[in-house]
Amino acid sequence: MIELSDVHKAFGTNRVLRGVNLTIPSGQSMVIIGGSGTGKSVLLKCILGLVHPDKGRITLDGEDVETAARDAFLARFGMLFQGGALFDSLPVWQNVAFRLLRGSLKRPKSEAREIAIEKLRRVGLKPETADLYPAELSGGMQKRVGLARAIAAEPEVIFFDEPTTGLDPIMAGVINDLIREIVTEMGATAMTITHDMSSVRAIADRVAMLHDGVIQWTGPIAELDATSDAYVQQFIHGRADGPIAAVR
């Protein structure tokens, strides 16, 4: 279980997070929604320790993420980045097996390659893709490779940062379905940040809305449409009028 208590983060005078409180139960898929620039990615990076909160506490299964042994802590996570964040200098299979080729999870090269090809197959890519370089792949394929990399070491927690941004609706649907299937199959805890409502409906068990640096609303996906929260209603219906300023 991931718990965030009163998490604050500012960049200069820009107070991005102003006291975030949120619990993500184990094995559940939590989707954080919110407009652009509301701090969704910062929140995710705070949990991973890529950004250090100014105040507040973040725990994973009761252990403070700031004091946890770094390697062991990160070994429990997988992450799909918005743009894929694949390493240009490495072929696809080495991107997928990156963690399996070095560090505490190191395996023999042939075994790491086999696992990489298996994970590529799992995300719908042919084994021939393994020896290509990221620059040779389409945007959708890069997302799939990023997804394969995120699940390669069978992590307990997987983060998805805007998984469908920049993809056509069909490819976005494919990625959403893959994420749902993989999270269910692995029994992993998932946290996705997105402003794509089709992703929310396909991926989420629970939804939280981040606005003005705090969680405005959180609840099960089944209650999303019925909630009377004005922020959520404006966001999910894409209205210009409402409590969220259209020009930010």
Partner 1 sequence: MSLLSPVAALGRVVLGALATMGRIAIFAAETLSHLLRPPFYPREFLTALMQIGWFSLPVVGLTALFTGGALALQIYAGGARFSAESVVPSIVAIGMVRELGPVLGGLMVAARVASSIAAEIGTMKVTEQIDALVTLSTNPMKYLTVPRVLAATLAVPVLVAVGDSIGIFGGYLVGVNRLGFNPAAYLKNTRDFLEFWDVASGLWKGAAFGFIVALMGCYYGMHSGRGAQGVGRATKSAVVAASVLILASNYILTEVFFSA
Amino acid sitting at position 78: G
Spatial distance between the Cα atoms of 242 and 233, rounded to a whole number of angstroms? 9
Using CB under 8 A as the criterion, which residues of the chain lie in contact with partner 1 when the complex forms? Answer: 45, 48-50, 70-71, 74-75, 77-79, 81-83, 85-89, 98-99, 102-105, 149
Min. distance of Cβ 79 from partner 1 in angstroms?
A: 5
Min. distance of Cβ 225 from partner 1 in angstroms?
A: 33
Min. distance of Cβ 85 from partner 1 in angstroms?
A: 4
- Measured from the CB atom, the residue of 161 and 224 that comes closer to partner 1 is 161
As a whole number of Å, the end-to-end CA separation of the chain is 33
Spatial distance between the Cα atoms of 191 and 230, rounded to a whole number of angstroms? 24
Min. distance of Cβ 73 from partner 1 in angstroms?
A: 9
- Measured from the CB atom, the residue of 55 and 106 that comes closer to partner 1 is 106
Residues 6+ apart with CB under 8 A from 110: none
- Measured from the CB atom, the residue of 134 and 140 that comes closer to partner 1 is 134
Query: Which residue has tokens 């995120």?
Result: 150
- Measured from the CB atom, the residue of 99 and 211 that comes closer to partner 1 is 99
Spatial distance between the Cα atoms of 153 and 122, rounded to a whole number of angstroms? 13
User: What single-letter DSSP state applies at residue 134?
Assistant: G
